Amino acid sequence: MTGTGPDDRRIDTTRPHPARVYDWFLGGKDNYPVDEELGRRITAIDAGAPKAARANRAFMRRAVRTLAEETGIRQFLDIGTGIPTEPNLHQIVQSVAPDARVVYVDNDPIVLAHANALLRGTPEGVTEYVQADARDPLAILRRAAEVLDLDRPVALSLIALLHFIADEDGAHDLVAGLLDALAPGSCLVLSTMTADFEPENVRRGIAAYAAGGVTLVARSHAEVGGFFKGLELLDPGIVPVGDWRPDTAPEGPVSLYGAVGRKPGPS
């Protein structure tokens, strides 16, 4: 488990943090009153917010299971991991392939504080946690390369991460930079917020997050497509997360797109 210094470990309970608000939506216990307050405010605007968090988590499970089962990928780089919530990504992919190697990355000290739960993997596989900021892809790649063989395909997952990073803050460059460094056959899995379906609720939700000091960005279908430039989209393409290869009846529409793309070339 690696971090960048003691200051990274300070947990600020005076303002809401995305990882902890999301934990509250998922019914977790690793959140503080400020997080619950924002969670309740968002739920008052959009009663479907906890449902969207569950649908997003279920998308993550289906997408990484699909990659482990159907593409043979055995290396996973998950950025914006969040507070551990079972089943975690490594538990899913190592149940398919016990030798799978997983690197988790988040920049929130609360995730670092709970990272031990992310490190209990199979004896045949590897799990590692790196505390780093997604806006520093070179540092992430350097750390990831200590565990993953970047000459072989990697599944890069950015799940419910990119809506916290504006285009002006380098969202597209960071995705392109990470993909450039990965071998052909690597895959990008992402989900991110959209205002395509419920513009007014999403606008009010963004305003509530902003009042809590958290930047959120909604992206259109075409804007999400921009992250997949040069990749081959797996079926069914860019769709609301609940519609990506559902294995149970979706709980209803949610304002998050999800998709999986593959970097072309022999793997």
Ligand X SMILES: C[S@@+](CC[C@H](N)C(=O)[O-])C[C@H]1O[C@@H](n2cnc3c(N)ncnc32)[C@H](O)[C@@H]1O
Write out the residues near ligand X by the rule CB under 6 A.
18-19, 22, 56-57, 60, 80-82, 106-108, 111, 133-135, 159-161, 164-165
CB of 245 to ligand X, least distance (A): 17
CB of 265 to ligand X, least distance (A): 27
Tokens at 5, concatenated: 């210094």
CB of 36 to ligand X, least distance (A): 15
> 166: Cβ–Cβ under 8 A, 6 or more apart, which residues?
215, 217
> 174: Cβ–Cβ under 8 A, 6 or more apart, which residues?
134, 135, 137, 165
Nearer to ligand X, 26 or 183 (CB): 26
Of 59, 44, 254, the residue nearest 157 (C-alpha): 59
Residue with tokens 């294995």: 247
Nearer to ligand X, 164 or 244 (CB): 164
CB of 61 to ligand X, least distance (A): 9
Work out the burial of residue 179: count CB atoms within 10 Å of its CB; fewer than 13 is exposed, 13-18 middle, 19 or more buried: buried
Tokens at 195, concatenated: 């205002």
CB of 19 to ligand X, least distance (A): 3
Nearer to ligand X, 35 or 234 (CB): 35
CB contact at 8 A, 195 and 184 = no
Nearer to ligand X, 100 or 171 (CB): 171
- Phi, psi (rounded to 5 degrees) for 62: -65, -40
Tokens at 256, concatenated: 């998050």
Residue nearest to ligand X (CB): 82
> 168: Cβ–Cβ under 8 A, 6 or more apart, which residues?
none
Cα atoms found within 13 Å of the Cα of residue 246, Cβ hemisphere only: 12
CA angle 199, 202, 206 (to 5 degrees): 135
Nearer to ligand X, 16 or 18 (CB): 18
CB of 227 to ligand X, least distance (A): 15
CB of 78 to ligand X, least distance (A): 7
Nearer to ligand X, 116 or 184 (CB): 116
Nearer to ligand X, 35 or 106 (CB): 106
CB contact at 8 A, 48 and 171 = no
